[in-house]
Amino acid sequence: MLHPQVAAARQVRERPPAEVLAADQLLSVRRAMEEAVEAECGPAIPLPVVVDVDADGVPCRLYASRAGVPVLVYLHGGGWCYGSVETVDRLCRRIADRSGCAVLSVGYRLAPEHPYPAALEDAETVVRWVRTEGAGLGIDPARLAIGGDSAGGQLATVVARRQRDAATPVDYQVLLYPAIDPMLAAESYDEVGSYGLDRAAMKLAWETFVPSPAARFGPDVAPLAVADLTGMPPALIITAEYDALRDEGADYADALLSAGVPVVHVRYQGVNHGFARKLALFDAARAAADQIAVSLRAALTF
């Protein structure tokens, strides 16, 4: 059953239709998303360390409670076209506060100004920077996780696979309703595509992010196109019952499990896409953030 908080959340900020995102109003949509942070996400949890840093040219924000701790590199959602460090600020603060780990939130370049592979390059630049410079920031680069929501989840798991292939694996991945399939084939688009995220919006997002249709078939865009997922890092995958991306997230969890990768897949009932960062609007958001924190603490505090 759809939770009443979904309808209440829509009153705070309606998701714009696809035709708006395709027009020159994209900048205003980005601003509106940031301006709604206080209403959607609530007050900021104070932390000893909240500092903006430059990771070899990529703007990031570091959250930490103490020195020498593991780190989660976090990639925000927003269809690769909008969203920012600001829109996931409250979520990152809560994860850092509850887990004891540091969180490094990445302000990667957005499409259409910077289409694929710009965002992927930025994410990989940040991971390399953490490995070489992290100790100087008081974080432990030897204990490294990567994660993200929606479009950020796609970037996160692609980076995780590329790090595996480079023999520099990360230790853990956290994927919140990741965008996995550019072909938009999941049945959940038809079943629950009227609850805030539909096929038209995701089609536009994929086409804006990766303008070349041929490129959308490659493993650096479509994670399920990878021939072998063996050796991928253990994962926490969170999906939402009323989310068009629900089934592709579940399919990716199943594919990892089939490859022998330890996976915890949790489907939050009654909620829709994007719920997890909206801590002021969804009880489930606070539960999800705390679940992420617990999983990070278990995976990285070795």
Residues with a known catalytic role? 150, 243, 273
Residue owning tokens 């995220």: 197
Amino acid of residue 210: V
CB 258 within 8 A of CB 270: no
For 198, residues 6+ apart whose C-beta sits below 8 A from its C-beta are: 18, 189, 244
Contact 40, 33 (CB under 8 A): no
Q: How distant, in Å, are the alpha carbons of 58, 63, 223 from that of 248?
A: 29, 30, 10
**Greatest CA span in the chain, whole angstroms?**
49
Report the alpha-carbon distance of residue 264 to residue 242 in Å, rounded. 19
Round to whole Å and give the CA distance between 142 and 132: 10
Tokens of 252: 């990716």
Element (H, E) at 29: helix 26-35
Distances (CA, A) of 188 to 138, 199, 214, 263: 43, 10, 24, 21
